[in-house]
Amino acid sequence: MSSVLNTFSSLSLSRIYNNNHLQAPTHSNLTSASVSFTRRRLIVRAADTDTNEAKSKAPYKAPASGGSSINQLLGIKGAAQETNKWKIRLQLTKPVTWPPLVWGVVCGAAASGNFHWNLEDVAKSILCMIMSGPCLTGYTQTLNDWYDREIDAINEPYRPIPSGAIPENEVISQIWLLLLGGLGIAALLDVWAGHDFPILFYLALGGSLLSYIYSAPPLKLKQNGWIGNFALGASYISLPWWAGQALFGTLTPDIIVLTLIYSIAGLGIAIVNDFKSIEGDKALGLQSLPVAFGAETAKWICVGAIDITQISVAGYLLGAGKPYYALALLALIVPQVVFQASAQPFLVLGLLVTALAMSH
């Protein structure tokens, strides 16, 4: 239920602030959404440029000598080369991108006001997390790697698909198995929750469709830095929140609007991943925000999207008669602004504060 990404959870903005040659850690995808977190727009040029010509202009980026086996299992840069097919399959799902979706389900359950610490509710929430993380985020990430195989051949040629570590037919099979598994779990949760309308199934189906049009032509939302990044933010924040809230309570219009506003912060987070692909994007004529606006401007777009969103939500809570929660959120925004290189923990806690405010 996530559009594609590299990990929202492994974000570190310090590299944005401390280096002119910018590079962000791999995720990306909030919520239920997620896939690799690259956002680009293809510029059609009058003269044809084939992929081989582009490859010759881009530097070959080999993984660090003696790559980490842990990085390989998490699906992030610096991974050791692996021949075990099951480890490669896990790498394609990028487990490092699952935690934001899990946190989104937690926030949705908290916002419902109906979650109780008993065996049944805990079991439901865990199953919802499996649906959002390993299944549908895994589907999204594998799908995104499949459609990114040409650009990855430039930026990260050692990744499983461009390196030939896994046959293409096995990649396609994995995409379908994860998708059908996630949709099946969603349908099961609807029955377990006693829903007359299968809302979780349709949320999972909608999130999966968003993941597809994010990565695949002809729409390929990631070609547009603004639309693609917002779709990514919505899939990592809004979709898993909606799933958690619908599982234990009622998904209301105000929650939908509030979480979509929060997805603007997710847009800022998603921009971070673009910094690692600047060279490859330029080589293929793709317009990510760092390429389109320059690294310095993109840095401030990223920071502004996160900070302004939190301030706006605090204002909403104050207007809704929840002054203590608004003050708590503002208290988290202050260190977020001061320590912008480490803003993510404050954003994550802000999501939970907002969820608890909406539960009352």
Number of other CB atoms surrounding residue 342 within 10 Å: 14
Question: Measured between alpha carbons, how far is 204 from 240 in angstroms, rounded to an integer?
Answer: 9
**Structure confidence by residue, pLDDT tens digits, 119-143:** 999 999 999 999 999 999 999 999 9
The predicted pLDDT at position 28 comes to 37
Give the position of tokens 């359950």: 109
**Structure confidence by residue, pLDDT tens digits, 185-215:** 999 999 999 999 999 999 999 999 999 999 9
Number of other CB atoms surrounding residue 163 within 10 Å: 16
> Between these two residues, 158 and 197, which has the higher pLDDT value?
197
Angle between the N-to-C axes of helices 199-215 and 225-248, in degrees from 0 to 180, rounded to the nearest 10: 170
* C-alpha pair distances (Å), 340 with each of 11, 60, 94: 12, 32, 26
b vs e for 281-312, b when ≥16 Cβ sit within 10 Å of the residue's Cβ?
A: bbbbebbbbbbbbebeebbebbbebbbebbee
Question: Measured between alpha carbons, how far is 19 from 231 in angstroms, rounded to an integer?
Answer: 28
How high does pLDDT run on average in the chain?
Answer: 81
Percentage of residues of the chain with pLDDT beyond 70:
79
Q: Which CATH architecture has domain 71-231?
A: Orthogonal Bundle (1.10)
pTM surpassing 0.85? no
3-class DSSP state for residue 68? strand
3-class DSSP state for residue 155? helix
Number of other CB atoms surrounding residue 181 within 10 Å: 17
Contact 220, 3 (CB under 8 A): no
Question: Measured between alpha carbons, how far is 142 from 3 in angstroms, rounded to an integer?
Answer: 11
Question: Measured between alpha carbons, how far is 64 from 72 in angstroms, rounded to an integer?
Answer: 12
